Structure formats: C-alpha cells, structure tokens
C-alpha cells in the first residue's frame, strides 16, 4: 500500500479554541477521552529507539477547498459557531489488519525485500487485538463527549462507528471472529494452534513424520519472532523481544530495541474485550476478502492456512538463501500443495513446522457477512441493511448497503474490493458494474428525498485503480466454495469495471454527496473534489491506520451552519492506552492489556519500514495539519424543506370520569436536520368514542402557524367525556403523516340517591 503521499501544506487558518474547545496539554500517560486537539503523542528523544510522551494539542484548520488554487466548496461565515446545529456525529475506525501472526499463510519472508512488501510483517502485530480494544475504549469515551458542540453548548451523541475495512489482515475466519468479539465485548483468544495429532497425515500440508514445534503446548507462540524456533542458524532480521540483539549478523534493524521477556507468549492470552457502546458497522477492505490483501482465496491458500508448514526466510544476507523460490511460488496462480512439499524436501530450512488450526480457514464474503449477522444485533453490523433485491441477484454476495440513523442524512457503504484477486494489482480497489448502478440509484433516491449523502468505503477514489474483473477468480460453479472460499459466487457480470475516476464523475452529478470517508492508505489525507462546473463537489477524507503509525482514527461531525453552508469537523484521536509504555527489560508475564496496547504504539513509532521516521520530514501517516483536525466547509446542497418527524401526546393514558374533561397536550417537532420552517402544520384529532369529545366534537383540527428547525410546538386541546359516556376512547393525533395515540378509560358517573 502507498503509506504516505507527500503534499504541499495549504495556507490555512488554525482555529484555537473553536467551539469552546480548550487547547491544553494533558498529563503524560492520561489519554482516555483526550483528543489530539488537547494533546499529541510525540517522541521523547531524537536518537535510537524512541519512547513516547505527550506534547501540545493541535487546533482545527479551516478549509474551504480553495487553498491550492481550487474552487471554494463553501464559505466560512463569521458567527457560525453560535448558529450551527448537529446533523450527524459518528466515528471512523479503520485498518486494524488484525493478524493471526502464527498462521502458516503469513508471508513474513517477503518483508526484508521492502518496497511493495513492507506490510508483510510488523514487529508489533501480535499486539493488535489489545490495541484495537484500546481504540474501542477511546470511541466509548467520546460517545457522549463530542469534541465540538452545537449552538447553545448542545452535546450531540454519537450515532455509530463505521469500520472502513481491513479489519482482518489475511482473510481468515478466526481474524474476522476476533473483530466481532472485540466490538461486541466478548472474550477474545488471540492465541492459535491446536493439537497437531488430528491433522498430521490427514491434511496435505501436515505430512507424516513432522516435528511440530510446541506440539505439547500449542497455546505458546510459534512463529518468526522466537529465535529459538528457527531451523536455520541464528535469525537476525525479525525482532525477538526475548533477545532483540543476537550475536553478529549482517542485517538486524532492531539492534537498539528494548527487550520484553515473554512478550510473544503473553500476547496470546485471552482477555475480555470492552465492546462498543454505540452501533457498529463494517465495510470490507482488500485484506478482509483477499489473501494478504492481494490474491483470491484459492484451494491451495486455504490448505496452507489450515496446514502445518509455515514458509520462512531470514534476510538473504543473513541466511544465504534467496527468497525468490518462495516468492515465485506464491505469485503463481497454479501452484499446488505438492509444489510446496517439493521445496520443503529440497530446502527444509525454508519452513517452520507449526501447530495447525482449522479456524484459520479462509472466509468467503458470504460467510463473513453471515458471521456478522449471526449476533443479536438486528442490523448485522451493517450487513442486515443489504437490500433483498441485491442479495438475491448476487446469490448472497452483495455486501453494500445504505442506512439513515436520523432523518436528513443518508449513509451509503460500498465495497471497493477488487474481488478478482490479481496479486500486486488487487490491493487497490474498484466497483463492479452492478454495484455502480446500485450506487447511483441510491444517490438519486437520496437527492429526491432532500438528504445529504456520505459515502463509506475502504478505498478512496485515488486508490481505486485495480482494473481487474471479478471473474479473474474462479467461479464457485467450477470449484467448491468450502475448499476455495474466494471463488466468484456472484452470478452477475462484473464488467465494465469502474475505477475511481468513473465514480467521481458520477458523483459530481449529485451535489447532495458531501463527503467520502475511507481508509486503505494508512495516512491522514483530506482532498477536495470540486465539480467541473465549480458549483458543488465533495470532500475525500482518508484516515490513518491502527496497524501502522500514527495508529489513529477519527471522529466526524456534520453541522448545519444555518447560513447556507455545512461544516464537517474531523478530529483525530489516539487509542486510549497510557502513553507511558513498559520500560526496557520489563517481564511481560504480568503486563496488562493496556500495557500491551501502549507498547504496540511505541513499536509502531519505531518500526524500521513504516514507522514515524521512515518517510522523511513529515512523519509517516500523520499528514499535514490540514489533514488532521479540520473544519471542512461545503455549500448546503439541500432545498428548503421542513421535516416533521415526531408527534407526541400526554398523558398517553388517562382515567376520566363521565361528565368531566382534561387538557390533552400535543407536541409536534420539526427535526433538527430540517432546512426550513414547518408552516401551517395541520393537526387532526379523532376520538374513537362518540361520547368522548375533542373540542366538543368527535373530530377536530388545529393549525400550528410555524415550527422552526429543531423546535417543538405545543398545543393543548380539551377532551370531555359526556355524562352518558362509557367504556374506552382512543384519541388519535396525526400531523404530517406522524401519529400518536392517547388512551382514555371512562369511569361511569355515580347516580345520586334521593333522601327519604
């Protein structure tokens, strides 16, 4: 993946204290509920391995899109902070790339090659589950504590958190399961590997005569970061926290790294996840649907994942062995299990024999959606919103959907995975034609309904360059989907394939599209996309990854400034673990989950290929100030329209004596996302009992002159039970198609007895 695209910083205005947000530095180590507006995490030194500390926060940069000579998408009108109302508040969580780091399907042997293979291995990837949990805790802290306030200091509550893909790293079932357990607050067991006796001699890649490592205790870590397990002479390239600096080796990027004895075993222990407090939704990324985010899930890849042979190689300068034979093998779409066994027979040091695990099997898109829909959440973490027509036409493989948690804003989640799975091409994205047509139809409906539109996907338009048809993967009609889960199961023709430019051209026809939120690039990057006519456009918002530095995600708030413009606030947040990581030499045996998450952040900063200082003057992934904490201005494309969304009555239940009356309170609300006053609102009131009258009649009408957006009008009408009234009455109130009911129970009037 492209981890950083250098861009010229725009001349923008940093707004300190905007919306009453104080720019102050919190105490070192205190990070829960603290955004980067208040403090940033920075290195504590400039030489060697850097531990981290806190520095001053960074205020909001106001952008209108014209800073690089372009067309202004909106206008910053003074005083807007006193007028604005909240339209939506959500979180974006992205690119965990939660890895089963012990899996035989890992390709760590490619990492020393650099270039396109820099994400083949990360020294802190065993700590990803704990770090994801810490990020979830941070979103919870902000669920009722938005960084920016609406008019009058109103604090909007978070509507949802959207995960924009690459939740898994290698398309494995167990990785997808961990993500579900993390967001739902279940117990997560990151350790993998089972008793090999059930697989040896039966699985083609667990041949008889193997000496499986840690066979007596598969719960222990078995992988490239334990130097004692290597079959070759002393490994030098991969960081072993038990002994980071072995004897003299030609290539060791970690000579000045700290040691944490027992860390790899500690990382495998189960823990109780926190779970998100707000609804959580998912879109798929290339790593969720493709092996290592590149290749379609064929039978041989599935066999490797569930087998016992883990391909390995040190840096060639250390091992004396080229990685070329292994690279040639895994990039050959026709290689077989026998090809792998032949290399093992000729060069056994290319392999580590590890405990197998059936839960490492590759997961099809259909199976992954079924997993997310299998919970008690009726929305299926977003996949419950997939419309029936798309689901039926795709044979259950359609994974795109739209939803609207509150009136006036339409969110559309699209699947940009290049399902054809061509290695070194399909890490980028595209849209197949059926999805492209569906997307435009959804935007047309939203425009007709006067809704704002926000897109979610894994790939931003600039990353959608994979011109590969889905049919590049074998059809599920010619291979068994259980054996080759990545086969093409959608019977619809995918072509013509639509790339980023195609999608942008289509979006520019619809001014109601105001933002496209994505990940994939592992960097904070915000780009205006003005329409050719200069009258509209949208903002592309890309957010950094939790897998790599800066290990940040984003809060997004959309405000109506009530001056013809919208403000989209993006606020970058760090995960909630303390900034102070365990000291060099600390035993990992008693480290807490929070300690592991904090350590993961420090490791990410210092990583030799994608760490903070591997990209030059601007730290990898961080972007410029105009890509981090921002206020993005854009014209409000909506037409003036009232949204009467709620009618209530009080009391809802009432006992009423015959011959008596009471005042029924009726409240009618014009929703906060409305763009106009609701005028001459007709309210009809009807009684089901002819002897229970409303304003002296069985039916009555009231007209409310005006209701401003975000306001509620109250009227009171008399309800009277006549002297001969009996039984019950249902008082039905209707306004703008919304309905409320009050139930009245009539108490019979007592007869007066004559005195004798």
Please report, rounded to a whole number, the percentage of residues in the chain having pLDDT higher than 70: 95
Question: What is the per-residue pLDDT across 369-411, written as a single tens digit (0 to 9) for each?
Answer: 999 999 877 899 999 999 999 999 999 999 999 999 999 999 9
Q: CB of 689 within 8 A of CB of 658?
A: no
Can you tell me the distance from the alpha carbon of 443 to that of 509, in angstroms, rounded to the nearest whole number?
Answer: 10
Identify the pLDDT of residue 478.
Answer: 97
pLDDT band at 174 (very low <50, low <70, confident <90, very high): very high
CA separation (Å) from 386 to 171, 281, 412, 425, 486?
Answer: 21, 12, 11, 28, 20
Helix (H) or strand (E) holding 91: strand 85-93
- Name the residue with higher pLDDT: 752 or 478: 478
pLDDT score of 687 more than 90? yes
- Stretch 473-491: mean pLDDT: 98
129: left (phi over 0), alpha (psi -120 to 50) or beta: alpha
- Residue ranges of the domains in the chain? 13-211+271-635, 644-747
Question: What is the per-residue pLDDT across 6-39, written as a single tens digit (0 to 9) for each?
Answer: 333 333 333 433 443 433 333 356 689 999 999 9
- Name the residue with higher pLDDT: 232 or 472: 472
- Stretch 491-515: mean pLDDT: 99
Identify the pLDDT of residue 375.
Answer: 86
Question: What is the per-residue pLDDT across 529-544, written as a single tens digit (0 to 9) for each?
Answer: 999 999 999 999 999 9
Identify the pLDDT of residue 7.
Answer: 35
Place of tokens 């990070």: 31
- Stretch 293-298: mean pLDDT: 97
- Stretch 291-317: mean pLDDT: 96
pLDDT band at 330 (very low <50, low <70, confident <90, very high): confident
Query: Per CATH, which fold does 644-747 belong to?
Result: Immunoglobulin-like (2.60.40)
Identify the pLDDT of residue 19.
Answer: 41
- Name the residue with higher pLDDT: 711 or 22: 711
pLDDT score of 665 more than 50? yes
pLDDT score of 152 more than 90? no
Please report, rounded to a whole number, the percentage of residues in the chain having pLDDT higher than 90: 87
According to DSSP, residue 640 is labeled P
Give the other-Cβ count within 10 Å of 187's Cβ: 9
Question: What is the per-residue pLDDT across 605-630, written as a single tens digit (0 to 9) for each?
Answer: 999 999 999 998 889 999 999 999 99
Helix (H) or strand (E) holding 514: strand 513-518
Can you tell me the distance from the alpha carbon of 397 to that of 420, in angstroms, rounded to the nearest whole number?
Answer: 14
Helix, strand or coil for residue 8? Answer: coil
Identify the pLDDT of residue 249.
Answer: 81
Cα angle for residues 730, 733, 736 (degrees, 5° grid): 150
pLDDT score of 5 more than 50? no
pLDDT score of 329 more than 90? no
Residue 165: name the closest of 254, 97, 246 by CA: 97
Can you tell me the distance from the alpha carbon of 20 to that of 298, in angstroms, rounded to the nearest whole number?
Answer: 54
| pTM of structure | 0.91
750 Cβ contact partners less than 8 Å away, ≥ 6 residues apart: none
What angle in degrees, to the nearest 10, is found between the helix axes of 593-606 and 128-142?
A: 100
Question: What is the per-residue pLDDT across 129-139, written as a single tens digit (0 to 9) for each?
Answer: 999 999 999 99
pLDDT score of 148 more than 90? no
Identify the pLDDT of residue 232.
Answer: 66
Can you tell me the distance from the alpha carbon of 668 to that of 674, in angstroms, rounded to the nearest whole number?
Answer: 14
- 444-472 as b/e: b if 16+ CB within 10 A: eebbeebbbbbbbbbbbbbbbbbbbbbeb
Residue 37: name the closest of 20, 51, 52 by CA: 20
Long-range contacts of 195-204 (CB under 8 A, 24+ apart): 195/355, 196/308, 196/355, 196/356, 199/306, 199/307, 199/308, 199/356, 200/308, 203/303, 203/306, 203/307, 203/308, 203/356, 204/303, 204/307, 204/337, 204/341
Same CATH fold, 644-747 and 13-211+271-635?
no
**Of 230-244, 352-366, 564-578, which gets the smallest average pLDDT?**
230-244
Identify the pLDDT of residue 753.
Answer: 62
Considering the chain, what is the average pLDDT of its residues?
A: 93
pLDDT score of 433 more than 80? yes
* 653-657 and 738-747 strand pairing: parallel
Can you tell me the distance from the alpha carbon of 276 to that of 163, in angstroms, rounded to the nearest whole number?
Answer: 12
Identify the pLDDT of residue 240.
Answer: 96
pLDDT band at 121 (very low <50, low <70, confident <90, very high): very high
- Exposure of 469 in the CB half-sphere (CA atoms within 13 A): 12
Instruction: Decide which of 3.60.21.10, 3.30.450.40, 3.40.50.2020, 3.40.630.30 is the CATH code for 13-211+271-635.
Output: 3.60.21.10
Identify the pLDDT of residue 149.
Answer: 85
- Stretch 650-677: mean pLDDT: 95
């Amino acid at each position: 993946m492209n981890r950083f695209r250098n861009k010229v910083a725009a001349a923008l205005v940093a707004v300190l204290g905007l919306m009453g947000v104080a720019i102050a530095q919190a105490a070192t180590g205190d990070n829960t509920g603290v955004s980067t507006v208040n403090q940033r995490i920075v290195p504590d030194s400039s030489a060697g391995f850097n531990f981290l500390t806190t520095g001053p926060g960074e205020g909001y940069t106001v952008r209108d899109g014209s800073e690089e000579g372009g067309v202004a998408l909106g206008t910053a009108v003074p005083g807007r902070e006193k007028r604005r109302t909240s339209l939506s508040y959500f979180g974006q969580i992205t690119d965990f790339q939660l890895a089963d780091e012990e899996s035989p399907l890992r390709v760590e042997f490619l990492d020393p090659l650099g270039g396109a293979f820099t994400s083949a291995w990360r020294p802190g990837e065993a700590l990803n589950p704990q770090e994801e949990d810490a990020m979830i805790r941070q979103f919870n802290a902000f669920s009722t504590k938005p960084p920016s306030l609406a008019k009058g200091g109103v604090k909007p509550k978070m509507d949802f958190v959207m995960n924009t893909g690459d939740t898994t790293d290698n398309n494995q079932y167990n990785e997808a399961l961990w993500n579900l357990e993390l967001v739902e607050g279940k117990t997560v067991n990151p350790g993998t590997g089972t008793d090999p006796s059930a697989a040896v001699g039966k699985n083609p890649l667990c041949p008889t005569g193997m000496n499986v490592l840690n066979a007596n205790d598969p719960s222990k870590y078995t992988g490239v970061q334990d130097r004692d397990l290597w079959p070759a002479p002393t490994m030098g390239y991969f960081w072993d926290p038990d002994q980071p600096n072995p004897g003299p080796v030609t290539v060791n990027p970690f000579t000045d790294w700290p040691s944490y004895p027992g860390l790899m075993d500690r990382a495998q222990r189960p823990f109780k996840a926190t779970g998100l407090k707000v609804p959580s939704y998912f879109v798929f990324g290339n790593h969720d649907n493709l092996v290592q985010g590149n290749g379609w899930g064929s039978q041989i890849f599935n066999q490797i994942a569930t087998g016992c042979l883990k391909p390995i190689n040190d840096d060639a300068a250390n091992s004396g062995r080229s990685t070329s034979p292994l690279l040639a093998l895994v990039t050959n779409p026709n290689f077989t299990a026998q090809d792998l066994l032949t290399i093992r027979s000729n060069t056994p040091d290319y392999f580590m024999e590890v405990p197998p695990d059936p839960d490492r099997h590759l997961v099809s898109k259909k199976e992954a959606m079924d997993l997310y829909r299998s919970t008690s959440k009726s929305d299926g973490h977003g996949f419950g919103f997939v419309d029936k027509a798309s689901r039926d036409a795709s044979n259950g493989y359609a994974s795109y959907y739209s939803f609207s948690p509150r009136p006036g804003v339409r969110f559309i989640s699209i699947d940009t995975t290049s399902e054809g799975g061509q290695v070194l091409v399909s890490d980028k994205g595209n849209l197949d034609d059926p999805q492209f047509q569906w997307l435009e139809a959804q935007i047309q409906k939203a425009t007709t309904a006067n809704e704002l539109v926000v897109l979610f996907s894994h790939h931003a338009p600039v990353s959608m360059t994979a011109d590969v048809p889905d049919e590049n993967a074998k059809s599920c009609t010619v291979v068994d989907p259980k054996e080759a889960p990545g086969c093409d199961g959608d019977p619809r023709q995918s072509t013509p394939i639509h790339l980023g430019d195609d999608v942008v051209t289509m979006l520019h026809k619809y001014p109601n599209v105001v933002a496209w939120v994505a990940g994939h690039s592992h960097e904070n990057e915000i780009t205006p996309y003005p329409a050719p006519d200069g009258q509209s456009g949208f903002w592309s918002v890309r957010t950094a990854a939790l897998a790599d530095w800066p290990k940040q995600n984003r809060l997004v708030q959309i405000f109506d400034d009530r001056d013809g413009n919208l403000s989209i606030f993006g606020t970058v947040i760090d995960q909630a673990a303390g900034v102070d990581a365990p000291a060099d030499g600390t035993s990992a045996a008693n480290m807490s989950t929070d300690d592991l998450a904090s350590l993961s952040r420090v490791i990410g900063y210092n990583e030799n290929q994608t760490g903070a200082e591997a990209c030059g003057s601007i730290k990898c992934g961080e972007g410029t100030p105009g890509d981090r904490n921002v206020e993005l201005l854009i014209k409000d494309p909506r037409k003036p329209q009232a949204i009467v969304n709620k009618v209530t009555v009080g009391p809802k239940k009432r006992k009423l004596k015959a011959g008596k009356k009471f005042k029924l309170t009726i409240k009618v609300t014009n929703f906060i996302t409305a763009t106009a006053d609701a005028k001459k609102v007709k309210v009809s009131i009807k009684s089901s009992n002819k002897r229970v009258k409303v304003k002296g009649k069985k039916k009555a009408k009231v007209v409310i002159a005006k209701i401003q957006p975000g306001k509620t009008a109250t009227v009171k009408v008399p309800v009277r039970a006549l002297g001969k009234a009996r039984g019950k009455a249902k008082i039905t109130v209707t306004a703008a198609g919304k309905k409320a009911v009050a139930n009245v129970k009539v108490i019979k009037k007592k007869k007066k007895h004559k005195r004798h």
